[in-house]
Structure 1
Amino acid sequence: MEKGKLKAAILGCGVISSAHYKAIKANSNKVELYAVCDIIEEKAIEAAQKYGAVKYYTDYKEMLKDENIDFVSICTPSGLHGEMAVECAKAGKHVLCEKPIDVTYEKLDMIVEAFENTNLKFGGVFQYRTYPGLLRAKRMLENGELGKVYIGDGYCKVYRSPEYYRSAGWRGTWKLDGGGCLMNQGIHTLDILCWLMGGAVSAQAKTFTLDREIEVEDTAFAILKFKNGGYGTFTGTTLAYPGIGVKVEIICEKGRIVFEGSNTYLYKVDDSGKEVKICLDTIETEDLNKMQNKEIENTANDPAALSSTGHTFLVSNLADAILENKETHVGLREARHAVDVILAIYESSKTAKEVFVKT
């Protein structure tokens, strides 16, 4: 590290890597892009030239030998995240990992073992957790401002064409995608639902492959029991044409919270008995105020239509965690919970039984 700036490497130069590059560039006061890596040399060279990286690699283990690198953004197919994160830990590198952090219990446990009880920082990319309205809603629920929490429902109803799945050999496979509409697309929304409800306890579910020619599910339905004593449902599909989007609704004793699109609202009855709708997306903290530009994120039809605002916050947060020895915004155990919930849903669908969530 030179002059207080952390040197970052991007591992995997696919679609999502651009969000990480933009986030690193937006934090140029404390982070700079040093290296990129992809097994396809042409993609690595192109990314290095486009993003201004000092070095490019085609072998990530060779890249990890470079002592100049402080942290690695892992942007590869999901089923590779675990082994790559473990190798980063062995090399003494901090990690910012795209969702899901991996797709099997074995790999999740490997990551936990590699990072816990070390000085290394691990951050999961769940950018919805950086949205000011959702952060405010989380505090309201934790503080009991809305009374008892009864029901938490959510859905992710998006469109992914047959061409989307054919665009990369790993898409729609159990080994590398880890699942379909839940593990790839729905995980962000499911994470917010579980986060607001204090975590999930168990799942009863059914998944289907109704139309796409893929190994994994394109449609799923789940009944969930939550740690706060509430119950709810989650629906996921990649067949909604045109794409509808995502939504989470929390029904409480004294009102309800609704997250839809990029905004969070509180619905309640005021002292006069009138129903009111309050937008919770006020910018409350200095860190969020510095980087929140409220880009509209709409990936219902196009997975590349992704705002980099959340990634910008998460890169900044990881840098601060490294420089100031603080916890990351989405730590390792938080980042794995949504995966554990999805794995419980898959098991429930196979066994037709209620399955308890591992974490």
Structure 2
Amino acid sequence: MVRVGVIGCGNIGRVHSLILKELKEVRICAMADIRIERAEEFCRQYTEGKGHAYESIEEMLEKEELDGVHICTPHYCHVPMAVMALKMGVHVFMEKPPAISRDQFEQLKEASINSGGRLGICFQNRYNETTRKVSELIEEGRIGAIRGGRAFVTWHRDAPYYTESGWRGRLDTEGGGALMNQSIHALDLLLHWLGKPVRTEASMRNHHLSGIVEVEDTLEAYMEFTKGKEPVRASFYATTAYVNDAPVLIEIAGEIGFIRLEGDTVTCQEAGDTEPFIWRSPKGRVPGKAYWGSGHEACIHDFYDCVNTGKVFRNDLESVGLTFDTMMDIYESAESGEK
């Protein structure tokens, strides 16, 4: 039995707790939140009153004999908390982003290498049924060699989303906006199918919350990749200044067709076809955002399977390094105006 604690009793902490409660090999022993009443509520709801509530990770780790922790806190807490647990040999499963700076990422890397605990990053959309279907179609050669890709994330976030949180909208606590917070998963999938960029050029703006938040509400990036004789090109666009939360759109273009992922639908159009192939994913059991979907359940199950069997977790720190580095490259290009 793996004894775990959940740190951060907000919306995403609820998703983690709901999944953990149903895992036979896991027992939730403790909850921590700076608002102790929220930790107490989570204990009542997800541990049948048997868990203990704490106001800090320090107190939780000191008083509990835990095998693992789930970090569901604001971005700036991710690395300090993960490093603290890893130094004690505790397994860590943490929400995105893995870090908000290159220095933080290196700290996390060092702690992970020197720890007896396993580290997993919640890039759950790698586990979505739609993601697997796109990969399957690409591997079958349905569109031939990949020539390019595009991704669009057009969502809606107004001022209260930032100002009422206590940490969102500030560079020192959130790290970034439309890219780091809202669309890092879309970037991750685009890179999963296209590979490593050799050129990145980007720009960002704050259109509708200027003077209210420090982070960007809109970002666009151009990327070139080395695949075959001609460079593969990609366009990436993310904004939180739209009027609602539209389904994410990712399209992969090949020599003989394209594959488009939009919400819960995958469309494949091959050259010469009069009708496209359309596939829709079944609805998951765990609550997720309707405009994107949720692979949290499969991701968390896989993490504990790897903990118990010793297999390499597909969402370990090394596996998310390309996405993190590219995200930072995009920000640095947007800030400097250089490629």
For the residue of structure 2 that corresponds to 1:245, the secondary structure is: coil
| Matches of 2:12 and 2:84, distance apart in 1 | 21
| Matches of 2:119 and 2:16, distance apart in 1 | 15
Is structure 2 residue 119 aligned with structure 1 residue 122?
A: yes
How far 1:176 sits from its partner (Å)? 1.2
Is structure 2 residue 59 aligned with structure 1 residue 62?
A: yes
Find the counterpart in structure 2 of residue 22 from structure 1. Answer: 18
For the residue of structure 1 that corresponds to 2:248, the secondary structure is: strand
2:328 paired residue among 324, 327, 343? 343
2:4 paired residue among 8, 13, 29? 8
CA contact (8 A) 1:101 1:336 kept: no
How far 1:111 sits from its partner (Å)? 0.9
For the residue of structure 2 that corresponds to 1:173, the secondary structure is: coil
Structural mapping, 1:20-169, within 5 Å: 20-27=16-23, 29-52=24-47, 54-66=51-63, 68-116=65-113, 118-141=115-138, 144-169=141-166
1:317 paired residue among 302, 314, 335? 302
Find the counterpart in structure 2 of residue 274 from structure 1. Answer: 274
Find the counterpart in structure 2 of residue 187 from structure 1. Answer: 184
CA contact (8 A) 2:264 2:281 kept: no
Identity of aligned residues (%): 30
RMSD: 2.2
1:210 paired residue among 207, 210, 214? 207
For the residue of structure 2 that corresponds to 1:240, the secondary structure is: coil
Structural mapping, 1:164-243, within 5 Å: 164-212=161-209, 213-228=212-227, 229-243=231-245
| Matches of 2:308 and 2:286, distance apart in 1 | 28
CA contact (8 A) 1:194 1:226 kept: no
CA contact (8 A) 1:183 1:339 kept: no
How far 1:140 sits from its partner (Å)? 4.3
Find the counterpart in structure 2 of residue 293 from structure 1. Answer: 284
| Matches of 1:23 and 1:98, distance apart in 2 | 14
For the residue of structure 1 that corresponds to 2:312, the secondary structure is: coil
- Report the CA distance shift for 1:123/1:38 in structure 2 as closer, same or farther (over 3 A): same
- Report the CA distance shift for 1:297/1:201 in structure 2 as closer, same or farther (over 3 A): farther
CA contact (8 A) 2:133 2:266 kept: no
CA contact (8 A) 2:142 2:257 kept: no
The total of aligned residue pairs comes to: 332
- Report the CA distance shift for 1:117/1:263 in structure 2 as closer, same or farther (over 3 A): farther
- Mean alpha-carbon deviation: is it higher for 312-321 or for 226-235? 226-235
| Matches of 2:45 and 2:215, distance apart in 1 | 34
Give the letter aligned to residue 65 of structure 1. Answer: E
CA deviations on 1:193-236 (whole Å, 9 max, x unpaired) are: 11121233332010001111200101111101235441111111
How far 1:94 sits from its partner (Å)? 0.8
How far 1:191 sits from its partner (Å)? 1.1
CA deviations on 1:134-175 (whole Å, 9 max, x unpaired) are: 123224435655321111100110001111111112011111
CA contact (8 A) 2:265 2:278 kept: no
Find the counterpart in structure 1 of residue 261 from structure 2. Answer: 259
For the residue of structure 1 that corresponds to 2:175, the secondary structure is: coil
CA contact (8 A) 1:103 1:339 kept: no
- Higher relative contact order at CA 8 Å, sep ≥6: structure 1 or structure 2? 1
For the residue of structure 2 that corresponds to 1:100, the secondary structure is: coil
| Matches of 1:172 and 1:336, distance apart in 2 | 24
Give the letter aligned to residue 46 of structure 2. Answer: Y
Could you tell me the TM-score, scaled by structure 1's length? 0.86
Could you tell me the TM-score, scaled by structure 2's length? 0.90
